[in-house]
Amino acid sequence: MPHVELLGKVDMEEVFRRFKPVFVKTERGIAKATDSYIDRGGRCMLVDSLAIEGGEQARFMMEIGQREDGLLIGLWSGLDVESTEGVKTVLAETAKQILETFPDLVVGETDIQSYLD
């Protein structure tokens, strides 16, 4: 499953407060992430996301979870979503936004590096 690890110290509730919707239009379609929700413990955030490519639509929840060493951005495990270019784009653009907002974070392990470049 596509994912991006962001390493460094960051407050999940601050990530939630500063998150802005993502919208990317490409030749192939649209990728966006809009409404976000945080759990009561302030350790996990879900973001309502959508990827439209060639008339096919994938609606999914992106998960941003706090870990001891930073954050993990990926697909919520409760859904079976195909890893399309649009899905990977939403994850990568979200990671880029968080990296820009919190410049002390660095990219760790990821399987979508080409989408981050």
Residue extents of the structural domains in the chain: 3-116
Q: Which of 75, 82, 80 is nearest to 53 (CA)?
A: 82
pLDDT in tens, 48-59: 999 999 889 999
79-88 per-position pLDDT tens digit: 788 899 999 9
Q: What is the dihedral of CA 68, 39, 22, 112, to 10 degrees?
A: 40
DSSP designation for 89: H
Dihedral angle over CA of 15, 33, 109, 71, nearest 10: 20
Q: Residue 114, Cβ neighbours under 10 Å: how many?
A: 9
Count CA atoms closer than 13 A to 74's CA, side-chain side. Answer: 19
Average pLDDT, the chain: 95
